């Protein structure tokens, strides 16, 4: 039987691990943050060109190493899964939930559909649930195979992570998570940024 303190410590530890892994691929999060920070200024032609270049770089990074991209998506999904199980109402944890969300939004907006490797047909592989916590050994093995080779994957109830529904679902789910936190002033700002990012035509 775990005490509330045990759940708190475990949740913090898992959030930190997954959050740190969002920065494991060179410049991906930096490019995403650049795009998000400069959304309000893209009407200026020079800023628009810079944003277009940043988007192109991000698209290439996602496409050039599908395995690393899928691993980022899994870590972002796990952040939301941990937060959904045990909400930690602290500014740093709210930030981690937000960062997981913008990674998933960027994936939805800028990542081309990732081709599976040639080691078997991707469509024949079992569905992987990216936001499932404490998976069975079988599911954990499936996640490892999915990260390496691709295949069908579900996230936030969306059965295809390349579906057009993913961005709206991530925004809605993130807003629900942030509303549970007690730092609503900060959470509200993050929610507005998420919707701005989702709606941006860049």
At 33, is the secondary structure helix, strand, or coil? helix
Decide if pLDDT at 81 tops 80.
yes
- How far is it, in rounded angstroms, from Cα 13 to Cα 2? 15
Between 32 and 183, residue with greater pLDDT: 32
* Per-residue pLDDT at 119 exceeds 60: no
pLDDT for 107: 97
Q: pLDDT by residue (tens digit) across 42-64?
A: 566 667 788 889 999 999 999 99
> What's the CA gap between 30 and 60, in Å, rounded?
14
Q: What's the per-residue H, E or C state across 75-94?
A: HHHHHHHHHHHCCCCCHHHH
> What mean pLDDT do residues 142-163 have?
91
Q: What does the domain layout of the chain look like in residue ranges?
A: 4-199
**Strands annotated E in the chain:** 128-129, 153-154
Band (116; pLDDT cuts 50, 70, 90): low
Is the pTM of the predicted complex or chain greater than 0.75? yes
Contact criterion met (CB below 8 Å) for 155 and 161: yes
Q: What is the pLDDT of residue 113?
A: 78
Above 60 in pLDDT, residue 144? yes
């Amino acid at each position: 039987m775990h005490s509330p303190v045990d759940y708190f410590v475990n949740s913090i530890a898992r959030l930190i691990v997954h959050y740190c892994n969002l920065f494991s691929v060179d410049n991906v999060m930096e490019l995403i943050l650049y795009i998000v920070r400069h959304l309000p200024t893209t009407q200026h032609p020079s800023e628009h060109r810079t944003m277009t270049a940043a988007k192109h770089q991000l698209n290439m990074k996602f496409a050039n190493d599908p395995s690393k991209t899928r691993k980022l998506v899994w870590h972002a999904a796990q952040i939301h899964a941990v937060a959904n199980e045990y909400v930690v109402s602290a500014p740093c944890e709210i930030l981690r939930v937000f960062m997981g969300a913008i990674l998933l939004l960027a994936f939805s907006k800028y990542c081309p559909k990732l081709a599976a490797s040639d080691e078997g047909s991707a469509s024949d592989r079992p569905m992987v649930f990216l936001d499932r916590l404490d998976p069975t050994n079988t599911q954990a093995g499936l996640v490892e195979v999915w990260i390496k080779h691709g295949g069908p994957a579900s996230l936030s109830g969306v059965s295809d992570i390349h579906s057009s529904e993913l961005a709206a679902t991530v925004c809605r789910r993130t807003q629900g998570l942030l509303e549970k936190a007690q730092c609503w002033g900060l959470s509200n700002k993050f929610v507005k940024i998420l919707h701005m990012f989702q709606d941006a035509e860049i």
